[in-house]
A = this chain, B = another copy of it.
Amino acid sequence: MRVIDDPTQLRSLALGWRRDGRVVALVPTMGALHAGHLSLVRRARLDSTHLIVSIFVNPLQFGPHDDWARYPRNLEADLALLEPEGVEVVFVPTAERMYAIGARTRVVVDEIGDVLEGARRPGHFQGVATVVQKLFNLSLPNFAYFGEKDAQQLAVLTRMARDLDTGIGIVAVPTVRESDGLALSSRNAYLSAAERSAAPCLWRALSLGARLYREHRTGDPAVLLGLMREVVEREPLAHLDYLELVDPATFSAPGPLAVGAVRIGSTRLIDNLRLDHPSGGFPPPPGARAVGRQARAG
């Protein structure tokens, strides 16, 4: 496992692999790795011959009031977690290496990136789309892996990858949860013990929604959402930011994807669930599994 901070060195390695017909997978992360990230890494490992994990707390996707400065960073622990996972390269650039003085280019995904998280964090998805397009151009992957937990990010990047003709398959990996349903997130580390007990209220609301949807097939999203929101509102430590039903690809309402954000103290957590098939259900891009089998056989 090589740790690289030089973007041009990463590209020349990746170019060599692609020239040799290897299958390259990219798992972009902001570090503070947990079992959710490892699930991405293990899925990516299955699909590829060469696996790149990037660790970069991208300043471009944080607003002035966001938690960029206090976002958890622990490179040593991250590398220790990745060491046994069969990763070829961990790419750990500095902000100075990633954003040259005078850089002025943004990748914008309209509409999908403007609502919900995008409305509350102006510029967030532009920052995400821009850094991911840069990582794509540096890593030259066949496939890139993103968690379903960040469903809107997944929709933005799937759209971007297709619109810009990247030829890169975007693979959605199911959310990993604690035993009480709380979605794993690096931001869970911010929670006090009392806040941690309160945090699963969003998951409970989503689960209730899925059950009501399955059992009653209610056609009225407003009724369903009202019942779901009540679950969060009953939790004194939680403040509901939003809970909506949207289309998982366009993020326009209504649709079968329940997405929500809550604030617990000073920590903001997001989660989501497909009400129509709540076990998950973002389909893999065409060819992903086939290539994976090929790579394992070869």
Identify the A interface with B (CB < 8 A). 7-8, 11, 15, 18-21, 100, 102-112, 129-130, 133-134, 137-138, 159-160, 162-167, 250
Interface contact A105-B103, CB-CB below 8 Å:
no
- Most chain B CB within a 10 A radius of its CB, from A110, A137, A159: A137
| Chain B, Cβ-Cβ closest to A14 | B167
Interface contact B100-A162, CB-CB below 8 Å:
yes
How far in angstroms is the closest Cβ of chain B from A252? 11
Interface contact B104-A165, CB-CB below 8 Å:
no
Number of copies: 2
A109-B111 Cα distance, complex, nearest whole Å: 19
Other-chain residue from B100, B107, B134 in contact with A105 (beta carbon distance below 8 A): B107
> With a CB–CB cut-off of 8 A, which chain B residues contact A137?
164-167
Interface contact A164-B19, CB-CB below 8 Å:
no
A100-B163 Cα distance, complex, nearest whole Å: 7
Interface contact A105-B160, CB-CB below 8 Å:
yes
How far in angstroms is the closest Cβ of chain B from A53? 17
Interface contact A105-B164, CB-CB below 8 Å:
yes
Interface contact A105-B165, CB-CB below 8 Å:
no
CB-defined A-B contacts under 8 Å, sample of 27: A7-B165, A11-B165, A11-B167, A18-B18, A19-B19, A100-B162, A102-B159, A103-B162, A105-B107, A105-B109, A105-B159, A105-B160, A105-B163, A105-B164, A106-B107, A106-B108, A106-B109, A106-B110, A107-B107, A108-B108, A130-B164, A134-B165, A137-B164, A137-B165, A137-B166, A137-B167, A138-B165
